[in-house]
Structure 1
Amino acid sequence: MTARTRRFIAAIGTVAFLAFYIWLVTVIADVLPDSFWIDLIFYPVVGIAWGVPLIPLLRWAERG
């Protein structure tokens, strides 16, 4: 498989994952109680956590 094909597959996978992730985060955020402290913890955690599952995909796309 060429590098260009791997990058294209990774781009499609990233967009699909982020669409699902954003939907999931909004559903969870709607269920959580309305509290400043919960928001203060929840949003930074989910704002960072989206990158962790994408690391293997991006490494695969960029390998030689």
Structure 2
Amino acid sequence: MPRTAVGHLPDLLARFEDVSKHVSSADKALTNVRATADGLRAALAAQVQDAHRALTDGAQPK
């Protein structure tokens, strides 16, 4: 006998919970990637500023 939409509901709810868990995990992973990228960007900016300072200070006559 074919299942009705109501008969499919428990399966759909279980799948929805699985999808929600995966989305939550992916969101946490993306947050970590963003934090890492922000940290790397800040470190790179500091390195570039230090290099710029060293080059411009060394180029100026004393």
Give me the TM-score of the superposition, normalised by structure 1.
Answer: 0.47
Taking CA–CA contacts closer than 8 Å with sequence separation of 6 or more, which of the two structures ends up with the larger relative contact order?
1
Give me the TM-score of the superposition, normalised by structure 2.
Answer: 0.48
Query: In terms of Rg, which structure is larger?
Result: 2
